[in-house]
Structure 1
Amino acid sequence: MGIPHFLAIPFLIPGHINPLIQLSNVLAKHGCKVTFLNTEYNYKRMKKAVAVTAQANNIDDHDEDSSKMIRFVTLPDGLDPEDDRSDIGKVLGSMKKTMPCLLPNLIQDINSLDSENKISCILVTFNMSCVLEVGHKLGIKCAALFPFSATGLVSLQFIPKLIHDGIIDSDGNPIKSEEIQIATNMPMMNPKHFLWCSLGKDFFNHIVQEMKTMELLAEWWLCNSTYDLEPGALSVSPRFLPIGPLMEPDDDNNNNRSSSFWPEDTTCLEWLDEQQPQSVVYVSFGSLAVTESNQFKELALALDLIDKPFLWVVRPGKNEDKNNAFPNEFHGKKGKIVSWVPQKKILNHPAISCFISHCGWNSTIEGVCGGVPFLCWPFFVDQFLDKTYICDVWKVGMELEKDENGFISKEEIRKKVEQLLGDEGIRERSLKLKEATRKNVDEGGQSSKNIEKFVNWAK
């Protein structure tokens, strides 16, 4: 009998690609074979980022296909070269048309290369259920990795009930304003913070259809989480399988070097080495959130006002270039501004004191595993739910409060940084949560056992 062979297919944004590559590395370490499918556009982008990072840091830019257990393949995304790939709706529509047509031939080609170890499971992230139907027709098992919290997943699964109970209407809009508890032992949630509320009616309809397909065809729903973090949410369904934290180290010999869209500036690690322990304020809003121009300037002035060393990730890109004009009065002498970083290494560096974060789930998990207190600045989708866990459930962070115009002032940022860094209770809880979360992936830990269960199922 052959070894399990996974065809891993992420939706094409970094927040989906990164955890699936990390999971692929874990599966490879368990003796599985993984073929990782990227779009041609993203693959070229990542290869370029890897090459620039390697050149800048004198790393041998080996071909990431050199891993015997993980092979990278590509298909077109169906868009023209000049199309805007930051338009998620457009990308999604194109992928739904293109992927199901091209996938059967690709699977046939992959299987012909190794007839002993044909693809035994298609593993997708959310938004890619259209390819599960292809797998089902070909008699291949299917599973899904959800790149957001188990709580976010529960909210999606409960959409029909939320409509039935009059919490939301049939377009996903909140009807009631009071907080609700979706299931036992889950935190109270504000209906206007459900992850579809910032995405519009068309995307809500897509989510409803996506969940129906997942219910039918994905036998396991893998979550980058642990029972320590979300006991209530993970108890909702026997199909949920917590396998987190997915924290493969991004060292120079690891396949997940290929998962970044932008070259990583590793000089910041040397700069951090020169700073005092727990002194540096780290600021990053992930791969999608865009700060409005005036708010960007206010954040810059706040970092001057805090009078502490800071490391600030200002992502390169078309939209960002227009918004990221530094104010004339900004000095930034104590800080370092970079375009992209190896974030897991940053958050595990002893110089980091706190993390000003958009609270995306990957960043949340990485911050928890670094034992770093959070200052929460959520923008959209699941980030408000994650903020609830950080501030109200785990109590490892504080929220930056907006004024009546939805603006976060420099004084608010300075005040909250001082409060956060002066709160020993938050620091202690952060370190305890780090230990409890990480032990899940140790030998004999719950997530390690669940990975073994999943691999055995795939066999």
Structure 2
Amino acid sequence: MVVAPRVLVLPYPAQGHVIPMMELSHRLVEHGVKVTFVNTELNHGVILGALATSDSELAGIDMVSVPDGLGHGEDRKDLARLTDSFSKVMPLELEKLVGKINGDAPERHGRISWFIADVNMAWAFHVAKRLGLRAAGFCPSSAAMFATRIKIPEMISDGVLDESGWPRWRGTFRLAPAMPTVDTSEFSWNRAGDAKGQPVIFNLILRNNAATHLAEAIVCNSVHELEPGAFALFPSVLPVGPLSSCSDKPAGSFWPEDTSCAAWLDAQPASSVVYVAFGSLAAYDAAQLVEMAEGLALTSRPFLWVVRPGSATEELVDELRRRAAASRGRVVCWCPQRRVLAHPSVGCFLTHCGWNSTMEAVANGVPLLCWPYFTDQFLNQSYICDVWSTGIKVPRGGDGEGAGLVGREVVRGKVEELLGDAERRRGRSRCRTSPGGPSARKGRRAGTWNGSWTS
């Protein structure tokens, strides 16, 4: 009797990492693989809580959890603190989890034989080796981001970086031909939070780099034709993207999705809606949110704006909802973004340039207005604006994360510039995943890139 393989899937404990690894898990289940999906205890609880409000089921995926080492109420948005904590606690907890699962499983059925770990959690490959398990790495970001991190030693020897990962000079840098440029002040490990936490993040990257050789394969949520330069540097990295769909399978959202926005989108003209969403971690102060609201109102276009729970006070969210309702807009707490971006009424996407958002927009031919916040989002912006020409930048002044208030007239002007760009509008028609509305796209899977998306 052939026994179905069972894999343990381990994402970095952040929404943008959980979502593509959940989609990968769904694909594995479709091929007869059993999946045990490991979240931190906090993320495990919020995902199951969000799932309880939907009609979706995690068929074929067992959800389990391990502690991250932080106490109740501690700030898990401080990535350096979170990273430092789970790096110390999770390896032993993971070993205990696998020991329990395999100890309770029948001799020839249901035992974990593979680890699939986020490359940002590559320390888990050492755990797999100690347990005699096979290991594969998953890159949830661009191949260019993976290449940039692996090439850190060369950048140090070439004088681009010092031994601590800080740039030795200010300017733009390109790792290889056909790859995007990035400002040396915007390397991801230097833009992951407070500068005091940079050593923790940088050292984790170095440790992860050193562990990647223990993985039998590295796969990436990308497409070769979108990143030929990066894949040329690392031809053994396998593109398996874009890992997104408009199916009813759960995405692993941390918050309940407001599906009522579908009916609102249905009532809007084609290519008219400005979709606004900044992911799970980007944060802007009240003054900036008000300027954003006023700028969107000045466009006189319908807009759908995701203001996630906890990113603004209840009073401010209520005020943003009132402003939106008075100007053809709608504010929601969270939404099924993959379906939104596939909707024919969406005309452009004001985004933080997270890789999942970027891939979902490109797959649906939606032009992007780029407002990166931290980590790899600046590199993604470079792809969008300078390599693929599928979007434009929101200009900001000053230094540091979120520096420089972007005024309402800038927001209005950039939205109008993007939507008025005839070339990008023609590009959208070429890149659409499929003709028709959401029902026509339901259940379709993205395929290969050959000038257009085909199933």
TM-score range, shorter chain: 0.7 to 0.9
Per the alignment, residue 176 of structure 2 pairs with 183
CA offset at residue 303 of structure 1?
1.1
- CA distance in 1 between counterparts of 2:28 and 2:134 reads 16
> What does 1:315-334 correspond to in 2, within 5 Å?
315-317=308-310, 326=319, 330=323, 332-333=325-326, 334=328
Paired residue for 2:74?
Answer: 83
Partner of 2:367: 373
- In the TM superposition, what is the alpha-carbon distance from 1:189 to its structure 2 partner? 2.7
Query: How far, CA to CA, are the matches of 2:311 and 2:433 in structure 1?
Result: 40
Pick one of 216, 222, 235 that aligns with 1:219. 216
Which consecutive residues of structure 1, in runs of 5 or more, have no partner in the other structure? 448-459
1:15-34 matched pairs, under 5 angstroms: 15-34=16-35
Change (3 A) 1:318 1:433: closer
Which of 84, 88, 104 does residue 97 from structure 1 map onto? 88
Paired residue for 1:416, among 414, 417, 422?
414
Q: 2:156 aligns with which of 153, 156, 163?
A: 163
TM-score by length of 1: 0.87
- Show the counterpart of 2:395: 401
User: Are the aligned partners of 1:146 and 1:153 in contact in 2 as well (CA < 8 Å)?
Assistant: yes
Q: CA deviation at 1:143?
A: 1.2
The number of equivalent residue pairs is 429
Structure 1 contact 293–324 (Cα < 8 Å) conserved: no
Letter in 2 for 1:240: V
Residue by residue over 1:207-252, the C-alpha shift from the partner in whole angstroms, topping out at 9 and shown as x without a partner, is: 11221112x312222110001211110111133110000013341x
Identify the match of residue 357 of structure 2 among 349, 363, 369. Answer: 363
Deviations 1:293-314 (A, max 9, x none): 2211110110111111110001
Q: Does 1:340 align with 2:334?
A: yes
Q: 1:290-309 maps to which residues of 2 (within 5 A)? A: 290-309=283-302
Distance 1:365 1:78, change over 3 A: same
Pair 431,50 (structure 1): closer, same or farther in 2 beyond 3 Å: same
The residue number in structure 2 matching 1:454 is none
Counterparts of 1:235 and 1:331 in 2: how far apart (Å)? 46
The answer to whether structure 1 residue 235 and structure 2 residue 232 are counterparts is yes
Whether 2:423 is the aligned partner of 1:425: answer yes
Deviation at 1:95, TM superposition (A): 1.6
Alignment match, 2:206: 208
Tell me what 1:354 maps to: 348
C-alpha displacement at 1:323, in angstroms? 7.3
Equivalent in the alignment of 2:437: none
SS at match of 2:112: coil
Q: 172-181 vs 356-365, which deviates more? A: 172-181
Displacement of 1:371 after TM fit? 1.3
Distance 1:327 1:429, change over 3 A: closer
Match of 2:453 in 1: none
CA contact (8 A) 1:42 1:261 kept: yes
Q: Is the 8 A contact 1:219 1:239 kept in 2?
A: no
Paired position in structure 1 for 2:49: 48
> CA contact under 8 A between 1:3 and 1:31: conserved in structure 2?
yes
Using the TM superposition, give the Cα deviation of residue 442 of structure 1 relative to its aligned residue in structure 2, in angstroms: 6.2
Distance 1:322-1:121 versus aligned 2 partners, 3 A rule:
farther
1:378-408 alpha-carbon deviations (Å, 9 max, x no partner): 1111111111111111111111112457222
Q: Secondary structure at the match of 2:406?
A: coil
CA RMSD of aligned residues (A): 2.5
Assess, with a 3 A threshold, how the Cα gap between structure 1 residues 190 and 2 changes in structure 2: closer, same or farther. same
- Is the 2:363–2:446 Cα contact (8 Å) retained in structure 1? no
- Per the alignment, residue 384 of structure 1 pairs with 378
Taking the aligned partners of 1:227 and 1:353, their CA distance within structure 2 comes to 26
1:144 aligns with 2:137: yes
Mapped partners of 1:129, 1:328: distance in 2 = 42
Q: Does the CA contact (< 8 Å) of 1:372 and 1:431 recur in 2?
A: no
1:11-57 deviation line (CA, Å, top 9, x unaligned): 111111110000011111122121111222211111111223x3xxx
**Is the Cα contact below 8 Å between 2:115 and 2:135 reproduced in 1?**
yes
> 2:107 maps to what in 1?
115
Q: Name whichever of 390-399 and 188-197 sits farther off.
A: 188-197
Unaligned runs of 5+ in 2: 193-197, 435-440, 451-455
Q: Could you say which residue in structure 1 is the equivalent of 2:438?
A: none
Given the superposition, is the C-alpha separation of residues 116 and 430 from structure 1 closer, same or farther in structure 2, using an over 3 Å criterion?
farther
Q: Does structure 1 conserve the Cα–Cα contact (< 8 Å) formed by 2:282 and 2:373? A: yes
User: Is the Cα–Cα contact under 8 Å of residues 395 and 429 in structure 1 kept in the other structure?
Assistant: no
The DSSP-based 3-state class of the residue aligned with 1:116 is coil
Say which SS state the counterpart of residue 296 (structure 1) adopts: helix
TM normalised by structure 2 equals: 0.88
Q: Secondary structure at the match of 2:161?
A: coil
